[in-house]
């Protein structure tokens, strides 16, 4: 088992100016499950492929354990990778697919067979060992791809969106299976996904990337409770956080007639480049429905109600007298998401009054988008 | 009205039409006739298709026969009938008059003259597909994803565009022989002279001349093999190649364990297609040696026997032998093609 360290690792694709991955510094502990997450094109897959040795590292180093593997061939890095499309060899049986790396490495046949059978047992594939990948379902193929990685008993597992080709229900099932398997095997795992739910549910820690730059690393709780900047705040959490930029006056952020009181430290730390503005974020569950006209509340016109059984979310827009206030959420510009009691759901077109619960807002610098450091 | 008069009138009308349509004496009339026949064909087909479309639920066999019928008829006239006719002739003597049983076959297999022909054909069918495919495959792998890929592929593919007769003439110049004392006009012999070796009569020296003829066919077919195999190699997903690299393969190992098995169906299609073309090879032998100097192959010998020695029986026999040899290749080829389609 081993740790993984990205030490200022940079990848610049030939013919492009902007690095796909820019000076990535990341340390992954032995046995840790780290999820790289971000929107498409953020460099998460490139980072993984650099670790695998499938992409060159233009600057910096990559270490597995104490060994610098920056210029080591992929096969000598003692890693195993699960690909998005599984990359099973179509002309080989399941057993041959799983044991192929060992065969190339010259492992005795009996040992290959034994290790393949063990892995097949763990993954519930024993009865399919003689089939070709073509004769398997999507979920089974995914498990064969996992099996191929397990059989190698590597130092590090690399997984590149391994669940994205499964249907929603199977994805949720397999998600917990993979996470459970990883805990049991205790192998350091780097997992790439664009799905923040997957990241939150599977990872010991999450690393959020955007435009090749690492935004924040932390436990799922950290990411949710104290996002380091506006991007992470908007990316982590489903439904997404409501974010808006408001003028600050009299120790509070003002939008329309509503005020959100800000801590004194925050007021003191507003920088000149923020120009007297502050970016506030509040999660859908941080909004209370109150009666009309309550102090500091503002009206929201209900557009859509999403009922999930245990929860219900209102997707609404601000009314006319709030015009000029810029607010957005994962649902789009000028939209606001409110979690409501699933047993008392407002009707479409109705106007509800909501108020930000005291102290539950996230404060960011209006200019840089960074979280107030308090 | 009088029935006699009507029948007389129609007889006259049909006669006129027949004369008008079937007697074509100058190019203008011939072109007009061709246009009329094509128009007639289109009209008849349109009528048939219109009729079959009339009923609400046309019967399956009716639709099938209207669509496939004309093609089947043409195949029947153009292929099946001649095949049966040829097989029939192969059991008769040179004039096609006396039934002589298997005598022609016994001759074709027994006489040294024909044994040489069969040996040459075997040599061709063995060497051309294997060498053309091997060279095409290696070439495709080497130029794949290089900067000059397009140019390199075009160069190898171009011979495909040359007719076999044209290619043979080109190569006859390459092999051209002049006495050692006079300047060489053939490229190959000039090279030999530069290297200090005696010029050789490539086309005449037996049995090596066969190999020099085979080179021409390989030169033509390599482009075909390269094109198909290159496309097949391209179709191998990148992530499979990457997975193989992670599993410890590179270079020759990658080629042997991943590339070749992945393109196996395409390889078989290429091999059998070239083998079929080679079995039927005629133009190259005809143009370069005319089948002399021990270079004749089945297709050439069949032509020589039928149309130069006027031995219809043995000619037909050779054609049948050729036909029988091609059948298994065709069957295998079609099966593999279906497999390729299935994988897609």
Residue B322's pLDDT is 83
What pLDDT, on a 0 to 100 scale, did the predictor assign at position B1?
Answer: 54
CA angle B230, B235, B239 (to 5 degrees): 125
A74: closest chain B residue by CA: B246
Residues of B whose CB is below 8 A from A84: 239
As a three-state string, the secondary structure of A244-267 is EEEEEECCEEEECCEEEECCHHHH
Residue B246 Cα, gap to closest chain A Cα (Å): 5
Task: Give me the residue from B240, B249, B262 closest to A104, CB to CB.
Answer: B249
C-alpha angle B249-B254-B257 in degrees, rounded to nearest 5? 105
> How far is it, in rounded angstroms, from Cα B297 to Cα B278?
10
Most B-contacting residue of A81, A97, A132 (CB-CB within 10 A), to test interface:
A81
pLDDT-derived band at B39 (thresholds 50, 70, 90) equals very high
Give me the pLDDT at residue B341, please: 66
DSSP B158: G
- Chain B nearest-CA distance from A168, in A, is 24
Q: Is A87's CB within 8 Å of B262's CB?
A: no
Report the alpha-carbon distance of residue B106 to residue A241 in Å, rounded. Answer: 91
Contact A79, A52 (CB under 8 A): yes
Binning chain B into helix, strand and coil, the percentages to the nearest 5 are 75, 0, 25
Q: Is B113 on the interface with A (CB under 8 A)?
A: no
Contact status, residue A69 vs residue A30, Cβ threshold 8 Å = no
Which residue would you say has higher pLDDT here, B103 or A257? B103
> Residue A221 burial by CB count (10 A; 0-12/13-18/19+): exposed, middle or buried?
exposed
What's the pLDDT score for residue B342?
62
> Which residues from chain A sit within 8 angstroms of residue B249, using beta carbons?
75, 104
Looking at chain A, which residue has its C-alpha nearest residue B240? Answer: A87
CB pairs under 8 A between A and B: 58
Domain boundaries, chain B: 3-89, 103-343
CB B321 within 8 A of CB B299: no
A54 and chain B in contact, CB less than 8 A: yes
Quote the pLDDT of residue B129: 93
* pTM of the model as a whole: 0.76
- B337 touching A (Cβ < 8 Å): no
Dihedral class, residue B80 (left if φ above 0, else alpha if ψ from -120 to 50, else beta): alpha
Residue B291 has pLDDT above 60, yes or no: yes
Helices within B54-144 (DSSP H only): 60-75, 81-89, 103-110, 112-143
Residue A320: its pLDDT value, please? 64
Q: Decide if A101 and B258 are in contact by the 8 Å CB cutoff.
A: no
* Rg of chain B over all Cα atoms, to the nearest angstrom: 28
Question: Per residue in B147-183, pLDDT tens?
Answer: 888 888 888 888 888 888 999 999 999 988 888 788 8
ipTM associated with this complex:
0.82
* Residue B300 CA, distance from chain mean position: 13
The pLDDT tens digits along chain A (374 residues) read 689 999 989 999 988 888 999 999 999 999 999 999 999 889 899 999 999 999 999 999 999 988 999 999 888 899 999 999 999 998 899 999 999 999 998 889 999 999 999 999 988 889 999 999 988 998 899 999 999 999 998 999 999 999 988 898 989 989 998 999 999 989 999 999 999 899 999 999 999 999 999 999 999 999 999 999 999 999 998 888 999 888 888 888 887 778 888 888 888 888 888 888 899 999 999 999 998 888 888 888 999 999 988 999 999 888 766 655 667 776 567 788 999 998 988 988 899 999 899 888 899 998 888 998 77
**pLDDT value of position A271:** 87
Chain B residues with CB inside 8 Å of A100's CB?
Answer: 247, 257
Pick from B220, B321, B231: nearest CA to B273: B220
Q: Which residue of A has its CA nearest to B262?
A: A91
Of B243, B249, B264, the CB nearest to A87: B243
B344 pLDDT more than 70: no
Helix (H) or strand (E) holding B222: helix B208-234
CA distance B258 to chain A (A): 8
Nearest CA in chain B to A72: B246
Helix, strand, coil percentages in chain A from 3-state DSSP, rounded to 5: 30, 35, 35
| Chain B positions in Cβ-Cβ contact with residue A87 (cut-off 8 Å) | 237, 239-240, 242-243
How far lies A302's CA from each of A281, A295, A322, A324, B143, in Å? 20, 20, 15, 19, 62
Q: Which CATH class is domain B103-343?
A: mainly alpha
Half-sphere exposure of A85 (CA within 13 A, CB side): 12
CB distance from A91 to chain B under 8 Å?
Answer: yes
Question: Are A120 and A129 contacting, i.e. CB atoms less than 8 angstroms apart?
Answer: yes
β-bridge partners, A299: A353
d(CA B188, CA B166): 18
CB-based contact A282:A362 (threshold 8 Å): yes
Question: Tokens standing for A127?
Answer: 């009865």
Pick among B145, B147, B238, B243 to test the A interface (most A CBs inside 10 A): B243
Structure tokens at B6: 């009507």
* Pairwise CB contact (< 8 Å): B261 & A89: yes
* Minimum Cα–Cα distance from B244: chain A residue: A101
Task: Give the number of other Cβ atoms within 10 Å of residue A309's Cβ.
Answer: 6
The β-bridge partners of A259 are A254
Q: What is the predicted pLDDT for the residue at A362?
A: 92
d(CA B38, CA B27): 16
CB contact under 8 A, A81 and B253: no
Span B38-64, mean pLDDT? 82
Helix ranges (H only) for A167-249 are 168-185, 196-202, 220-225, 230-235
A149: nearest CA partner in chain B:
B247
Interface residue A72 vs chain B (CB under 8 A):
no
∠ CA B179-B182-B183, nearest 5°, is 115
With contact defined as beta carbons under 8 Å apart, do A45 and A164 qualify?
no
Q: Which residues from chain B sit within 8 angstroms of residue A81, using beta carbons?
A: 242-243, 246
Q: Look at residue A340 in the predicted model and tell me its pLDDT.
A: 92
The half-sphere exposure of B307 on its side-chain side, counting CA atoms within 13 A, is: 7
First to last CA, chain B: 70
The residue of chain A with its CA nearest to that of B246 is: A75
Closest CA to A357 of A335, A338, A341, A342: A338
Residue that the structure tokens 């509070």 belong to: A252
Q: Which stretch of DSSP H or E encloses residue A312?
A: strand A312-318
């Amino acid at each position: 088992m081993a740790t993984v360290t990205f030490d200022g690792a940079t990848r610049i694709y030939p013919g492009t100016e902007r690095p796909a991955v820019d000076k990535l510094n990341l340390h992954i502990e032995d046995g840790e499950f780290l999820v790289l997450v971000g929107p498409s094109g953020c460099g998460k897959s490139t980072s993984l492929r650099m670790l695998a040795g499938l992409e060159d590292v233009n600057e910096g180093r990559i270490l597995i354990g104490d060994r610098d593997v920056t210029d080591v061939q992929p096969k000598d890095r003692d890693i195993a990778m699960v690909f998005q499309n599984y990359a099973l060899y179509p002309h080989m049986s399941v057993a041959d697919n799983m044991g192929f790396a060992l065969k190339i490495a010259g492992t005795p046949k009996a040992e290959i067979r034994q290790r393949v059978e063990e892995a097949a047992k763990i993954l519930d594939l024993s009865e399919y060992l003689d089939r070709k990948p073509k004769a398997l379902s999507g979920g089974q193929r995914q498990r064969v791809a996992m099996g191929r990685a397990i059989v190698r008993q590597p130092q590090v597992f690399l997984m590149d969106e391994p669940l994205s080709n499964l249907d929603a229900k199977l994805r949720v099932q397999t998600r917990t299976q993979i996470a459970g398997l990883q805990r049991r095997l205790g192998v350091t795992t780097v997992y790439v996904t664009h799905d923040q739910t997957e990241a939150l549910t599977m990872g010991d820690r999450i690393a959020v990337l955007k435009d090749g730059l690492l935004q924040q690393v932390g436990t799922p709780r950290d990411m949710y409770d104290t996002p380091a900047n506006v991007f992470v705040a908007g990316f982590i959490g489903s439904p997404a956080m409501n974010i808006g930029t408001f003028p600050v006056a009299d120790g509070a952020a003002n939008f329309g007639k509503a005020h959100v009181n800000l801590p004194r430290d925050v007021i003191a730390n507003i920088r000149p480049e923020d120009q007297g503005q502050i970016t506030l974020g509040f999660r859908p569950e941080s909004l209370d429905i109150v009666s009309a006209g309550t102090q500091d509340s503002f009206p929201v016109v209900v557009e859509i109600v999403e009922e999930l059984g245990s929860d219900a979310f209102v997707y609404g827009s601000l009314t006319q007298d709030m015009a000029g206030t810029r607010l957005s959420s994962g649902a789009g510009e000028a939209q606001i998401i409110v979690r409501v009691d699933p047993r008392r759901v407002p009707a479409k077109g109705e106007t509800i009054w909501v108020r930000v619960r005291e102290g539950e807002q996230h404060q960011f610098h209006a200019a840089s988008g960074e979280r107030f450091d308090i | 009205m009088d029935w006699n008069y009507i029948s007389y009138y129609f007889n006259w009308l049909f006669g006129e039409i027949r004369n008008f349509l079937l007697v074509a004496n100058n190019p203008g009339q011939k072109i007009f006739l061709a246009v009329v026949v094509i128009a007639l064909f289109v009209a008849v087909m349109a009528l048939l298709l219109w009729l079959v479309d009339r009923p609400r639920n046309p019967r399956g066999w009716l639709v099938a026969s209207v669509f496939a019928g004309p093609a089947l008829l043409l195949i029947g006239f153009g292929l099946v009938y001649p095949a049966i006719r040829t097989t029939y002739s192969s059991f008769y003597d040179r004039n096609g008059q006396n039934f002589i049983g298997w005598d022609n076959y016994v001759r074709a297999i027994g006489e040294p003259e024909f044994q040489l022909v069969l040996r040459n054909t075997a040599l061709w069918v063995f060497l051309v597909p294997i060498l053309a495919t091997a060279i095409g495959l290696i070439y495709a792998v080497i130029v794949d994803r290089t900067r000059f890929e397009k140019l390199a592929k075009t160069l190898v593919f171009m011979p495909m565009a040359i007719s076999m007769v044209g290619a043979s003439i080109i190569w006859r110049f390459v092999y051209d022989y002049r006495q050692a004392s006079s300047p060489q006009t053939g490229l190959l012999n000039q090279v030999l002279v530069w290297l200090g070796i005696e010029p050789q009569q490539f086309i005449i020296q037996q049995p090596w001349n066969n190999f020099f003829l085979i080179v021409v066919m390989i030169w033509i077919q390599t482009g075909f093999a390269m094109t198909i195999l290159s496309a097949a190699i391209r179709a191998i997903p990148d992530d499979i190649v990457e997975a193989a690299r992670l599993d410890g393969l590179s270079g020759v190992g990658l080629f042997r364990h991943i590339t070749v098995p992945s393109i196996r169906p395409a390889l078989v299609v290429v091999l059998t297609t070239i083998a079929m073309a080679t079995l039927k090879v005629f133009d190259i032998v005809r143009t370069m040696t005319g089948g002399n100097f021990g270079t004749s192959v089945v297709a050439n010998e069949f032509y020589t026997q039928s149309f130069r020695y006027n031995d219809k029986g043995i000619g037909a026999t050779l054609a049948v032998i050729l036909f029988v040899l091609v059948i298994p290749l065709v069957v295998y080829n079609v099966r593999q093609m279906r497999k390729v389609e299935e994988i897609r």
